[in-house]
Amino acid sequence: MKAFLILEDGHVFTGTSIGADREVISEIVFNTSMTGYLEILTDPSYAGQAVVMTYPLIGNYGICYEDMESLKPWPDGYIVRELSRLPSNFRSEDSIQHFLEKHNIPGIAGIDTRALTKILREKGTMNGMITTNANYNIEEILPRLKSYTTGKVVEKVTCADKETLSGEGYKVALMDFGAKRNIARCLNERGCEVTIYPARTKAEQIIADAPDGIMLSNGPGDPKECREIIDEIKKLYQSDIPIFAICLGHQLMALANGADTHKMKYGHRGANHPVKDLDSGRVYISSQNHGYVVDAGAMDPNVAVPAFVNVNDGTNEGLKYIGKNIFTVQFHPEASPGPQDSNTLFDRFISMMEVAKNA
C-alpha cells in the first residue's frame, strides 16, 4: 500500500506503508544511530514525535523484548529507507513490522531518508503527516501541520504510581519524567534501592521519604511546559539532598534556577555525539536525544557553571552547581545500546551520596 509523508513546507515523499494503517500528524525528527532501533522506539522522550532513522536498513536483528527501555513504544510514527522483513538474530522474538502493527504505530518505508534528513538539517525540525490517503488535499493539510504542537507530553509518559526496586545500598528517588529503564538499572546494579515517583509528586513527599539522593530523569517535550514540576524542583534544590539530573531533568533544574532554554534547529539525536568534560579535559562519546538546550550564558555563575560542552557545536552539555551536591548532564550516561564512556557518572553520584551521608 502506498503511503505519503507530507511536510509543513510542502515537500511530499511517496513510499510504502508500514505498521498501522492510520493517519498521524507529528513533529518529524531524525536519529543517526546505526543500531538500537528498539531502544529508540521505546524511549519515552520521543512522545509527540515521528522518528526518521538515517541508517538505511532497520529491523535486521528483529525485536528483543528484553531490550525495551519502557513498557511500550512512544513515537507517533516511524520513517525508514528499508524495513527488514526477515530478521536474523538468535535473540529475536518478533519482527519490527508486527511490533509497529501491534502498537498501532504508522510508518513509511522506501523514501529517500537522506534527502529528508537534509531538509530537516537545512530548514530545521518541522511537522509532518503520514497518510495512506492518495486523495489528500495539501492546501487543507498544511495549516493543520503548522498548528500542531506536542503539548504537555510528560504527563502522558510518566508512571501512574510509585514503584520501588529493592537494593541494600543508598536510597535513590528517581523522578520519572519519561525515564528510560536503564537509568534505574544503572543505579540498581550499584546496589541502590530505587524508588520511582510520578512526575507530579510533591517535593515534600520525596523529602519526607528521606532518600540519600535524587535522580531527575530524561523526558519529552518543551521543558518550559513543565511549570508545576519546576516549582517542585526549586524545593528539591533547597533540600541539600544530592541530585543528579539527565536530559530533561538537566533542563528543568536549570530553569528552576533562573537559566533559560531554547529549541534547537534540529536537535541532537544519535549515539556518537562528542562532549568535553571541562574539569578533566576528557572527551566522551555520548548518546543523545533532545530538541531543547540550556542557555548556559543566562545562568548566574554564582549558582552554576558549565561542566560539559558539545564538541561539535559548543552547546551546553552539563552544569555543576556551586555550593550544592548537584550536577546535571544533557546527554545519556545510561546509554543502552551505545557508548558507555560516561557511565561512570553514576559512580560520581554514588560518591556524592556517600560524602553527604558521612558529613
Encoded amino acid at 323, one letter: G
DSSP conformation letters of 237-304? HHTT--EEEETHHHHHHHHHTT-EEEEEEEEEEEEEEEEEETTT--EEEEEEEEEEEEEGGGS-TTTE
Alpha-carbon distance 165 to 287, whole Å?
25
Respond yes or no: is residue 189 known to be catalytic: no
Find out whether 292 is annotated in a ligand binding site: yes
State the Cα–Cα distance between residues 33 and 164, nearest whole angstrom: 32
d(CA 259, CA 66): 38
Q: Would the annotation count 321 as a binding residue?
A: no
221 appears as a binding residue in the annotation = yes
Q: How far is CA 277 from CA 215, 318, 336, 351, in A?
A: 20, 9, 21, 18
Beta bridge mates, 308: 277, 318
Cβ distance 130 to 24 under 8 Å? yes
**Pairing assessment for the beta strands 82-83 and 2-7 based on DSSP bridges:** unpaired
Q: Which helix (H) or strand (E) holds 13?
A: strand 12-19
Tell me the Ramachandran region of residue 296: left when phi exceeds 0, alpha when psi lies from -120 to 50, beta otherwise. alpha
Is 219 labelled a binding residue? yes
* Ligand-binding site membership of 61 (annotated): no
Query: Is 334 an active-site residue?
Result: yes
Say whether 7 counts as a known binding-site residue.
no
55 annotated to a ligand binding site = no
Question: Catalytic pick from 247, 250, 273, 317?
Answer: 247
CA distance 329 to 251: 9
* Cell representation of residue 70: 519502557
Q: Is 191 annotated as a binding residue?
A: no
Measured between alpha carbons, how far is 159 from 195 in angstroms, rounded to an integer?
12
Q: Is 119 helix (H, G, I), strand (E, B) or coil?
A: helix
Which residues sit in the known binding site for L-glutamine?
45, 219, 221, 248, 251, 289, 291-292
Active site residues: 247, 332, 334
Binding-site annotation, residues:
45, 219, 221, 248, 251, 289, 291-292
